[in-house]
Amino acid sequence: MKAVVYTHEHTDHTGGVRAFVDEAVLEAGRGEIVAHRTLMDTVINHANPVAPILATRSAYSFGTLLPAGDR
């Protein structure tokens, strides 16, 4: 692994990086994370207000509210 590049702040692009690289790899210099310098500010400031909306949308999209059984 050479690098992980964050293209934008959506959690489906930033939330799973530990599956590919952990802090020991980064500290040893065997990889790097590349992101715009404002990425974390954007994650914090934009994700919080819309989190309830995204959670509701995901519940509908993935059938969380459906009764158990065939889907």
The residues spanned by each domain of the chain are 3-61
pTM (predicted TM-score): 0.57
Nearest to 3 by CA among 37, 26, 28, 27: 26
Place of tokens 């692994």: 1
Tokens of 2: 């050479």
**Residue 36 pLDDT grade (very low, low, confident, very high; cuts 50, 70, 90):** very high
Give the separation between CA 58 and CA 45, rounded to whole angstroms: 20
Residue 71 reports pLDDT greater than 70: no
